[in-house]
């Protein structure tokens, strides 16, 4: 009776999970289904798995296939056997796990790569023999599969066909519980990916506000400031960036108050399209500029993930939104803007607009929430991309503890970061204002971060530059093509590790 109840509960949870951003369905059971079209088994030389059982049923065909493919069982190696002898499945995918215990990031990546092996339309029902994995390991494999299976097909005639994955595990209820937390994180990642992938004319600052308001049903308090309110508060830098567009700028505040602790603040850059302004971008670069709001998307996705899991944290995300467009109303080179901080900024490049939006956003959250720590996240500079490429996010801070915490969190969730230096403040000196918005030389990622540093006051602060991380040109591990949602896992991991109330 107990086993039957476990199966039933797994079925109903699977139904609720299948309504996420993709059509994949996940079930957890005590037995391996023989009705699936595909079986996934694991193989290594150090720990028993379900391989031997199925190899015997196939009268050694699986072993012969491994030998023919010179399969050594190393981590992330695969062999597919079609029409296996005396097994009911159309195919068996044999997965190497290596001879060492797999870490959290390795399991997630392996799950993603399993999904990559099973993309065929003829595959619809997959059984995964995972009883040798513990509760957390099995849930991380499912997590990786789901992250890689995400597909933004809104504008495609041929829609993504979902698959059903059934994991055989020792303890269905415990595995379901572990996966439920990861599913909440996935919901935040999928939101960030959806926002980043969306066509820019369909995701203006006004549209972003609409998406943010949907989080109210999770208990998130949403506040929105329009151009007149932004201007009245003296946030002239944020107002100026959106001035050339039809709708102007917005400031969105999303506050999830799951504890009575002093709030953690996240400031996200939300340029829903960046033409470069009067100093317009080249054709090569402008085509990717719908993703210039990926920082705001990550901030909002993090709030959704934490609220969905009822985390005991107090987090406020503030997102400065604007379209940096060209019109007779656009701000122009030579303008001097007075920020809400009181510092004046000479505009030396209209394509260095993200730091202007963040400057006023960070002032607002400090002024109104007195956060214990402030983190900003932005697709900020080409300099960061040239320094670290697409595999590493850049972090900047004078707080050694924050740097350690984020470095560890990044490694844990496959969103690694690398510290870059602050400095070169003299490059930001202007003859007519307190600052200029670009450096007169020096490393551009550093001068941009140093510019932001002038707007954090005494609050502990860390800056994350995700230029190059927001869009993936090709899939890898658990990350599909397109919007990556980079930052949601990083921020969520850091917050839960260091700030969740006990």
Q: Which residues contact 401 (CB under 8 A, 6 or more apart)?
A: none
Q: Which residues contact 235 (CB under 8 A, 6 or more apart)?
A: 251, 339, 340, 360, 363, 364
Q: How many CB atoms are located within 10 Å of the residue 262 CB?
A: 13
- Per the CB < 8 A criterion, the answer to whether 57 and 81 are in contact is no
Residue whose pair of structure tokens reads 């984020």 in the numeric block: 406
SS3 457: coil
Name the catalytic one among 355, 384, 436, 489: 355
Distance CA 140, CA 186 (A): 12
Judge whether 355 counts as a catalytic residue. Answer: yes
- Per the CB < 8 A criterion, the answer to whether 162 and 176 are in contact is no
**Parallel, antiparallel, or unpaired: how do β-strands 373-378 and 461-465 relate?**
parallel
- Per the CB < 8 A criterion, the answer to whether 139 and 108 are in contact is no
Q: Which two tokens stand for residue 138?
A: 């099995």
Q: How many CB atoms are located within 10 Å of the residue 222 CB?
A: 16
Residue whose pair of structure tokens reads 């996966």 in the numeric block: 179
Element (H, E) at 374: strand 373-378
Name the catalytic one among 281, 288, 419, 425: 281
Using CA atoms, how far residue 452 sits from 104, 393, 427, in Å, is: 33, 17, 14
160: left (phi over 0), alpha (psi -120 to 50) or beta: beta
Q: How far is CA 63 from the centre of its chain?
A: 39
| Selection from 288, 319, 282 nearest residue 304 by Cα | 319
CB half-sphere exposure, 225, CA atoms < 13 A: 26
- Per the CB < 8 A criterion, the answer to whether 436 and 429 are in contact is yes
Distance CA 92, CA 460 (A): 52
Distance CA 293, CA 279 (A): 19
- Per the CB < 8 A criterion, the answer to whether 374 and 271 are in contact is no
The residues annotated with a catalytic role in the active site are 281, 355
């Amino acid at each position: 009776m107990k086993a039957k109840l476990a199966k039933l509960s797994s079925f109903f949870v699977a139904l609720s999970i299948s309504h996420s951003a993709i059509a994949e369905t996940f079930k957890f059971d005590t037995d391996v289904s023989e009705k699936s079209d595909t079986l996934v088994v694991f193989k290594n030389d150090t720990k028993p798995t379900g391989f031997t059982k199925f190899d015997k049923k196939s009268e050694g065909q699986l072993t012969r296939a491994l030998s023919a493919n010179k399969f050594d069982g190393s981590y992330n190696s695969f062999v597919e056997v079609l029409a296996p002898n005396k097994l009911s499945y159309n195919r068996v995918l044999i997965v190497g796990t290596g001879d060492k215990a797999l870490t959290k990031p390795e399991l997630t990546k392996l799950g993603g790569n399993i999904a990559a092996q099973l993309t065929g339309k003829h595959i619809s029902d997959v059984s995964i023999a995972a009883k040798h994995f513990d509760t957390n390991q099995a849930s991380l494999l499912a997590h990786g599969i789901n992250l890689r299976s995400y597909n933004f097909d809104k504008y495609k005639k041929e829609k993504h066909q979902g698959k059903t994955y059934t994991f055989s595990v020792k303890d269905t209820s415990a595995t379901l519980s572990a996966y439920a937390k990861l599913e909440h994180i996935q919901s935040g990642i999928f939101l960030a990916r959806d926002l980043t992938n969306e066509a820019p004319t369909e995701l203006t600052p006004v549209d972003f506000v609409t998406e943010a308001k949907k989080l109210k049903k999770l208990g998130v308090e949403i506040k929105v400031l329009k151009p007149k309110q932004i201007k009245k508060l003296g946030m002239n830098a944020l107002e100026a960036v959106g001035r050339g567009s039809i709708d102007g700028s917005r400031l969105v505040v999303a506050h999830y108050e799951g504890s009575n602790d002093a709030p953690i603040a996240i400031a996200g850059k939300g340029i829903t399209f960046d033409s470069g302004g009067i100093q317009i971008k080249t054709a090569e670069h402008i085509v990717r500029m719908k993703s210039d709001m990926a920082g705001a998307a990550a901030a909002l996705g993090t709030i959704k993930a934490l609220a969905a899991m009822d985390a005991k944290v107090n987090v406020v995300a503030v997102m400065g939104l604007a379209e940096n467009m060209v019109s007779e109303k656009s701000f122009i080179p030579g303008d001097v803007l007075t920020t809400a901080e009181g510092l004046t900024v000479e505009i030396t490049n209209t394509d260095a607009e993200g730091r202007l939006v963040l400057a006023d956003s960070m002032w607002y959250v400090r002024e109104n929430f007195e956060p214990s720590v402030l983190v900003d996240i932005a697709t900020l500079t080409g300099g960061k991309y040239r320094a670290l490429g697409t595999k590493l996010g850049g972090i900047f801070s004078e707080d050694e503890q924050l740097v350690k915490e984020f470095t560890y969190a990044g490694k844990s969730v496959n969103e690694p970061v690398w510290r870059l230096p602050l400095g070169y403040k003299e490059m930001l000196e202007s003859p007519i204002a307190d600052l200029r918005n670009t450096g007169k030389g020096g490393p551009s990622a550093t001068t941009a971060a140093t510019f932001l540093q002038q707007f954090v006051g005494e609050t502990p602060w860390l800056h994350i530059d995700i230029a190059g991380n927001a869009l993936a040109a090709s899939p890898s591990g658990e990350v599909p093509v397109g919007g990556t949602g980079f930052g949601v896992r990083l921020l969520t991991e850091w917050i839960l590790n260091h700030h969740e109330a006990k």
